[in-house]
């Protein structure tokens, strides 16, 4: 769920949806090396906030199924990441496994101590270079959205050095993983996937939100089943504007024909999501 420079989803060709999804196989995943552990420092309580109740987003029948895929990829690292979590967070949630990492964040699978319901917590380092901006952007979007094809925020804990976002747990893997594991998508599979992506992105556009980092790694299946919904995630590069209007963002020069989402003072509109190299 990290952020990084990458290409967006390719534009649909005249050959239909199958070629679009098959082209996703060309994307290759980058694995970050383990970062050196920063020295532990005591955090002071400041501006702590959490929701008055936890949303029950997962049917009971799905809870056991959600333990079967991508939950425990780094079980040996649980202890050291527990030490980095504020005790006011761990008092409410039991940390189970590290399941993801990004430039400014780590994502762990947790279990709510009272309800035993599984969730994900995204811990963001706001003091890292650029971390505060990325965190603010993502939090602004997540606190505003509510859609079946967009990842849902349950509650958030805010401290001076770190922000902890409690999210619904998606265990069905990335879109790219599913394409690769199957070897190909049928036209029906491709159509269903694209319909769910377009439903989520269309909802965001109606709110004036441009994601700016759509890629297979940021599209997650809620559970491993064939009937799983697909979720748009990772809003660290998202921008706001009035619905259907343009907004501006500063970034690298595009004089060499680069990605328009990285242009200098370039008008941002939903059509940016259709850019293709």
- Which residues are part of the catalytic machinery? 213
* d(C-alpha 185, C-alpha 19), whole Å: 9
Reading the block at residue 71, the tokens are: 């939950």
* d(C-alpha 6, C-alpha 100), whole Å: 18
Asked if 25 and 199 count as a contact pair (C-beta separation under 8 A), the reply is no
Asked if 116 and 109 count as a contact pair (C-beta separation under 8 A), the reply is no
Reading the block at residue 256, the tokens are: 């060499």
DSSP state of 264: T
Q: Is 39 annotated as a binding residue?
A: no
4-to-139, 213, 252, 266 alpha-carbon distances in Å: 18, 8, 14, 19
Q: Which residues are annotated as a binding site?
A: 122
Q: Which residues are annotated as a binding site for ATP?
A: 122
């Amino acid at each position: 769920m990290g952020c990084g420079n990458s290409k967006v989803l390719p534009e649909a060709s005249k050959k239909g949806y199958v070629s679009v999804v098959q082209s996703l196989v060309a994307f290759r995943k980058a694995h970050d090396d383990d970062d050196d552990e920063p020295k532990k420092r005591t955090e002071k309580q400041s501006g702590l906030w959490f929701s008055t109740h936890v949303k029950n987003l997962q049917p009971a029948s799905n809870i056991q199924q959600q333990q079967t895929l991508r939950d425990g990829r780094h079980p040996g690292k649980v202890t050291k990441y527990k030490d980095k979590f504020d005790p006011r967070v761990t008092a409410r949630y039991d940390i189970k496994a590290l399941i993801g990492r990004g430039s400014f964040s780590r994502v762990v699978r947790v279990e709510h101590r009272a309800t035993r319901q599984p969730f994900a917590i995204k811990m963001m380092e706001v003091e890292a270079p650029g971390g505060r901006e990325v965190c603010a952007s993502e939090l602004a979007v997540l606190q505003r959205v509510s859609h079946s094809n967009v990842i849902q925020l349950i509650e958030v804990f805010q401290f001076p050095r770190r922000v902890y976002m409690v999210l619904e747990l998606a265990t069905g893997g990335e879109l790219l993983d599913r394409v690769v594991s199957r070897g190909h998508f049928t036209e029906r599979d491709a159509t269903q996937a694209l319909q769910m992506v377009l439903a989520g992105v269309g909802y965001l556009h109606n709110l004036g939100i441009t994601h700016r980092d759509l890629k297979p790694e940021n599209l997650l299946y809620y559970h491993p089943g064939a009937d799983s919904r697909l979720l748009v995630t990772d809003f660290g590069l998202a921008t706001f504007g009035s619905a259907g209007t343009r907004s501006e963002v500063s970034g690298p020069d595009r004089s060499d024909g680069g990605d328009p989402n990285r242009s200098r003072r370039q008008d941002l509109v939903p059509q940016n999501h259709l850019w293709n190299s």
